[in-house]
Amino acid sequence: MTDLRAALTDYLALRNRLGHELADAARVLPRFVTWMEHEGQSTVTITAAIQWSQQPNARPGSVVGAHRMTAIRGFARYLSGLDPDTQVPPPRLIPDPQRWRPPFIYAPADIKALLAAAGRLPSPRRAATYQTLFALLAATGMRVGEAIRLDTTDLDRDQGVLLIRQSKFGKSRYVPLHPTTVDALHDYADRRDDYQPIPGNASFFVSLTGRRLIYPTVRDVFGQLRADTGIGAGSAHQPHIHGLRHTFAVTTLVRWYRDGADVAARLPWLSTYLGHHDPRSTYWYLSATPELLAIAADRLEPIIGAAVPQ
């Protein structure tokens, strides 16, 4: 095994533990490493990334080249900490013509149906775990990886907060919880020890085998429940588990707009709560749904109208 391939194995394992989807990376990067090995190259460079990303089967105008480059860029960022000669391709070096895809926003009835279906899973232990996990994602907008990395000591029942340790960008934060969410987590925590976690496993959520949940399994369970309930059937935008995070953000913004709140002043609160690097990432949600755009337009119309000479 070459050093590059060994590094790829470690990189994919790390992404998996952090709860990232591996669909593109696990499919694209092994092919890229094989090509690098065939070319006798051991260090990722921008030139190599472009050459491979634009192979003949990446047709002009398709998303193939952009998706390849995105996967390579993530791998290169990881490699740069191991090999200082690694070159990290800049963002949007190969434009993605379909880069922005509107997320599926779950209606309250969708979430209710999803949680009811989770509660009907054959194993009572599995049902309690996934019903609590998916309810937590919907109620807080947490990343999936953050939720499955929670330990039993991360829930402060008295203060009603969760500690999210070393999440994206290496930052930790406290997430305040609604009292009903605290009660639900408290109830699951009291039952957790009866689920016989393996010795030394401090994970808050435990699998049937007593181990920490892993992202691929969580994603597959969610996908099966979504299919069973028919959520999003016929929708132009396929529902994904990360849509629960989008839904939380959009719902919060819609409520603030409808209440007449100063959304610009509150947006940093939401950014901090969601664990965004800065409010610019949160602004993306303003264009996530037509409803948000319409509400924002209604709020701006009196201001714009007053500024236009009559």
pLDDT, tens only, 59-91? 555 677 888 888 898 899 999 888 889 999 888
Which tokens belong to 108?
Answer: 């309250």
Q: Which pLDDT band holds residue 310 (cuts at 50, 70, 90)?
A: very low
Distance of CA 278 to the CA centre of its chain: 16
More confident residue, 271 or 290: 271
Q: How far apart are CA 51 and CA 150, in angstroms?
A: 41
pLDDT at 289: 58
Catalytic residue set = 143, 168, 242, 245, 276, 285
CATH number for domain 111-229, candidates 3.40.50.720, 1.10.645.10, 3.40.190.10, 1.10.443.10: 1.10.443.10
Biggest distance spanned by C-alpha atoms of the chain: 75
| Number of residues in the chain | 310
Task: Tell me the average pLDDT across 109-123.
Answer: 95
Q: Is the pLDDT of residue 305 over 50?
A: no
Q: How far apart are CA 138 and CA 136, in angstroms?
A: 5
304 DSSP β-pair partners: none
Which tokens belong to 39?
Answer: 């070319």
- Percentage of the chain lying above the pLDDT 90 cut: 37
pLDDT at 95: 67
Q: 218-223: long-range contacts at Cβ-Cβ below 8 A with a sequence spacing of 24 or more? A: 218/130, 218/133, 218/144, 218/148, 219/21, 219/144, 221/118, 221/121, 221/130, 222/114, 222/134
Residue 141 CB-half CA count within 13 A: 21
Domain range summary for the chain, segments of one domain joined by +: 3-79, 111-229, 243-307
Q: Is the pLDDT of residue 307 over 50?
A: no
pLDDT at 256: 83
pLDDT at 306: 37
Q: Is the pLDDT of residue 301 over 50?
A: no
pLDDT at 303: 34
Indicate whether this model's pTM tops 0.95: no
Q: Which span out of 35-39, 56-60, 266-270, 305-309 was modeled with the highest average pLDDT?
A: 35-39
DSSP state letter for 275: T
Closest alpha carbon to 69 in 42, 32, 34:
32
pLDDT at 302: 43
pLDDT at 222: 96
For 155, residues 6+ apart whose C-beta sits below 8 A from its C-beta are: 162, 185, 186, 189, 204
Radius of gyration of the chain (CA): 22
Across the chain, mean pLDDT equals: 82
More confident residue, 17 or 303: 17
Q: Which pLDDT band holds residue 147 (cuts at 50, 70, 90)?
A: very high
Q: Where are the beta strands (DSSP E) in the chain?
A: 155-156, 161-164, 173-176
pLDDT, tens only, 190-206? 888 777 778 878 899 99
pLDDT, tens only, 239-261? 889 889 988 988 888 888 788 88
Task: Tell me the average pLDDT across 283-287.
Answer: 60
173 DSSP β-pair partners: 164
* DSSP string covering 227-265: HHHTTTTT-SS---TTHHHHHHHHHHHHHHHHTT--HHH
Question: Would you say 142 and 245 are in contact if contact means Cβ atoms under 8 Å apart?
Answer: yes
pLDDT at 208: 87
* 215-229 and 108-118 helices, crossing angle to 10°: 110
* CA torsion through residues 222, 14, 50, 28, sign: negative
More confident residue, 4 or 17: 4
